[in-house]
Structure 1
Amino acid sequence: MDWILLFVCLAAVLFYLTFVLPTQWLKIERVRLPLHVGLKIIQISDLHVERNRIRPEKIRRVIEAERPDFLCLTGDFLDKPTSFVLLTPFLKMIQSTGVPAYAVLGNHDYKLERPEELIRLLEAFGIRVLVNEAEELHEVYLVGVDDFDSQHSDVDASFQFVTPNKPVIVMTHDPTITLFMDRRFDYLFAGHLHGKQFNLPFFFKLKDMGPLARSGVYKGLHTTPHGMLYISKGVGQSGYNFRFLVRSEITVHEL
């Protein structure tokens, strides 16, 4: 019996270290691009508050230490309206930092019967939701392209008032849209793909997440014909509340 108990304990520890710890051990990824605009942006993607082991206070400490110019939340906040109560502490934390915040919605957010209720909640906490539109900020245009996967993106509308005299930064949820865009941008960051979430060979050959992921582009920094692309591994989890060899992430972009 002692050997059985030891085996069970070891198995439990191994399971925790392999599948649970990566969801709790937040990684701060840093990307530096020579756009020479002197901006620091923190990207928070894929909160998935129903399956999230990162506490708001941990994210607050990063924001306060980094002192970014603004925050960009790149979608997939929740799956159902009953989870607004889980999302609210994150939104209160973001508001309390005093850092200007912008958001786009993701495919999970569009599972809501009335996604406009989520937009109202975000904006009630001072978070500007960009729905296929752009804001002129400091020395750049910040363009918010709505979610491609759920067929809400409209690139032409998003770039309608963007002129070529300033660098263009795009925030969106599903990076697959970069395969179909015909607009130049200096930098685009997205989420959606969770860096696989389970880092297994041929994972995106078996699980269809679109042609970009299938081609092997699912995390990190990449060059596209229209500009530089970064894909965050996200904070929360989709499907199962576990990760394998992929840590939760928020990203500091220095431009």
Structure 2
Amino acid sequence: MTPSPEPAANGALRVAAIGDLHVGEDHTHPYRDLFAQISSEADVLALCGDLTNFGKTKEAENLAEDLMACTIPVVGVLGNHDYECGQPDEVAKILHQAGMQVLDGEAYEIGGVGFAGAKGFIGGFGRHMLSPFGEGPIKDFVQASVDENLKLESSLRMLRTERTVVVLHYSPVIETVMGEPPEIFAFLGSARLGETIDRFDGVKAVFHGHAHRGSVQGRTARGVPVYNVARPLLARTTEREYTIVEI
């Protein structure tokens, strides 16, 4: 866990969050101005996955150039699109070199607030959550979900801060995927993530993306606020393309 800078004078931290940027190879500085604006309004930027369209090196480099406009710390996770070309480690390396702290089971502390995160995975919610029963491929599928959940648990265990923010790509609750076709709910997140979050005290907010047609806000069973910050959703339903929450 990396040490934090000095906390703000009033102890509060303004966290801006956005996901699903989907930067392409032919994009030229698509988010430079937005990142500069966010830097003037927030203390930390959290990026919630699907940062590139296909996980290509050029796409990551285009985003990395825009991240240079950030004058505040940046934390984030990768999403399923960032894995498409089979080189997520290279994407993460490029973004890390541009100043982003990539959370994949790691933890990071900024201004007295802990940031825990992982990509997460699919699996479903409630009585419809897939269980490891039957054919081998189903068991492998569920194990992939469990493995991502263990990364999140590991990152949360690293923190000793009184306030924690969780950064994901997939949703931990069904409320923020409402609005999507019910047939794909299971492919938008997993209740396992929410159950893990609720085992840890001090979690003040959870940010995720992925559900472009979902809902903006929900809560875990213990009442932790969950924010869907997928850019296509926020651009369509709110006044700006990102969310700011004071922690």
Query: Shorter-chain TM-score category?
Result: 0.5 to 0.7
Q: In the aligned structure 1, how far is the partner of 2:205 from the partner of 2:39? A: 24
Cα shift at 1:60: 3.1
1:60 to 35, 41, 47: 35
Aligned length, in residue pairs = 189
1:114 corresponds in structure 2 to: 87
The equivalent position to 1:77 in structure 2, one of 47, 51, 66, is 51
What is the SS of the residue equivalent to 2:157? coil
What is the match of residue 254 of structure 1? Answer: 246
1: distance between equivalents of 2:217 and 2:245? Answer: 11
Which amino acid is 1:173 matched to?
H
Residue 167 (structure 1) aligned with residue 163 (structure 2): yes
Distance 1:191 1:37, change over 3 A: farther
Name the CA shift for 1:129/1:57 in 2 (closer, same or farther; >3 Å). Answer: closer
Q: What is the match of residue 101 of structure 1?
A: 74
Separation in 1 of the partners of 2:157 and 2:237? 37
Shift of 1:59: 0.7
Cα distance per residue 1:215-255 (max 9 Å; x no partner) = xxx3222222231111113259xxxxxx9x55772222222
Is 2:66 the counterpart of 1:48?
no
Return the alpha-carbon distance in structure 2 between the equivalents of residues 222 and 53 of structure 1.
34
Segment drifting more, 95-104 vs 122-131: 95-104
In the other structure, the counterpart of 1:91 is 64
Contact in 2 for aligned 1:56/1:89 (Cα 8 Å): no
| Cα-Cα RMSD | 3.0
Q: What SS class does the counterpart of residue 96 from structure 1 fall into?
A: coil
Structure 1 alignment gaps of length 5 or more: 1-35, 197-217, 237-242
Classify 1:54/1:44 alpha carbon distance in 2 versus 1 (closer, same or farther; 3 Å): farther
**Corresponding residue for residue 179 of structure 1:** 191
Report the AA paired with residue 118 of structure 2: V
**TM-score, normalised via structure 1 length:** 0.64
Task: Report the equivalent of 2:181.
Answer: none
Q: When the two structures are superposed, what TM-score results if normalisation uses the length of structure 2?
A: 0.66
Residues 219 and 233 of structure 1 are in contact (CA less than 8 Å); yes or no, is this contact kept in structure 2? Answer: no
| Equivalent position amino acid for 1:188 in 2 | V
Q: Which residue does the alignment assign to 1:193?
A: 211
What SS does structure 1 have at the residue aligned with 2:67? helix
Q: What is the CA–CA distance in structure 2 between the aligned matches of 1:119 and 1:55, rounded to whole Å?
A: 19
Q: Whose Rg is larger?
A: 1
Equivalent in the alignment of 1:222: 218
**Is the partner of 2:165 in helix, strand or coil?**
strand
Q: Offset at 1:53?
A: 10
Looking at structure 2, the residues matched to 110 and 141 of structure 1 have their Cα atoms a distance apart, in angstroms, of: 26
Secondary structure of 1:93 counterpart: helix
Task: Work out whether residues 235 and 250 of structure 1, in 8 Å CA contact, stay in contact via their aligned partners in 2.
Answer: no
> Residue 72 of structure 1 aligns to a residue in which SS?
strand
CA distance in 1, matches of 2:28, 2:246: 26
Residue 133 (str. 1) matches residue 129 (str. 2): no
1:119 aligned counterpart, secondary structure: helix
Following TM superposition, by how much is the alpha carbon of 1:72 offset from its aligned partner in structure 2, in angstroms?
Answer: 0.8
- The one-letter amino acid of 1:47's match is L
Q: Deviation of residue 133 (structure 1)?
A: 1.9
Runs of 4+ in 1 over 6 A off after TM superposition: 51-54
Q: How does 1:148-163 map to 2 (within 5 A)?
A: 148-149=121-122, 151=145, 152-154=148-150, 155-163=152-160
Matched residues in 1 for 2:101 and 2:108: separation?
10
For residues 50 and 220 of structure 1, the distance between their equivalents in structure 2, rounded to whole angstroms, comes to 25
Higher relative contact order (CA 8 A, sep 6+): 1
Which residue of 119, 123, 131 corresponds with 2:96? 123
Q: In the TM superposition, what whole-angstrom CA distance separates every residue of 1:20-75 from its partner, at most 9, and x where no partner exists? A: xxxxxxxxxxxxxxxx8411111121111139899223313422431x21111110
